Amino acid sequence: MNVKSITITGYKPHELNIFSDQDEKVGIIKKALKRKLVEYLDNGLEWVILSGQQGVETWAFDVLQELKEIYQVKVALIPPFKDQDHIWKEDKQKKYQTLIQLADYYQPLSQKSYESPKQYFVKNKWFIEKTDGCILLYEEEFGGSPKYFYDLILKYEEQHEYNVTIINSFDLDDLAREMQELNQDNLNDV
Beta strands in the chain (DSSP E): 5-9, 47-50, 74-77, 105-106, 133-137, 163-167
Q: Bigger pLDDT: 187 or 13?
A: 13
CB atoms within 10 A of CB 111: 8
- Please choose, from the candidates 58, 10, 2, the residue with its C-alpha nearest in 3D space to the C-alpha of residue 167: 10
> Does position 187 have pLDDT exceeding 60, yes or no?
no
Q: What is the pTM of this model?
A: 0.94
Domain covering 5-188, topology: Rossmann fold (3.40.50)
- R_g (Cα) of the chain, nearest Å: 17
- pLDDT of 2 above 90: no
HSE on the CB side for 183, CA within 13 Å? 6
Position 182 scores a pLDDT of: 85
Cβ contacts of residue 188 below 8 Å, gap of 6+?
none
* DSSP β-bridge partners for residue 9: 136
Asked if 81 and 119 count as a contact pair (C-beta separation under 8 A), the reply is: yes
C-alpha 21/C-alpha 162 separation (Å) is 31
Q: What is the pLDDT of residue 164?
A: 97
80: pLDDT strictly greater than 60? yes
Q: What are the residue ranges spanned by the domains of the chain?
A: 5-188
* Per-residue pLDDT tens over the stretch 146-180: 999 999 999 999 999 999 999 999 999 999 999 88
pLDDT of amino acid 186: 64
pLDDT tens for 91-149 read: 999 999 999 999 999 999 999 999 999 999 999 999 999 999 999 999 999 999 999 99
Give the separation between CA 6 and CA 48, rounded to whole angstroms: 5
The C-alpha atoms of residue 1 and residue 94 are separated, in whole angstroms, by: 38
Q: What is the pLDDT of residues 6-23, one digit of tens each?
A: 999 999 999 999 999 999
Instruction: Report the pLDDT value the prediction gives residue 1, as an integer from 0 to 100.
Output: 67
pLDDT for 190 equals: 47
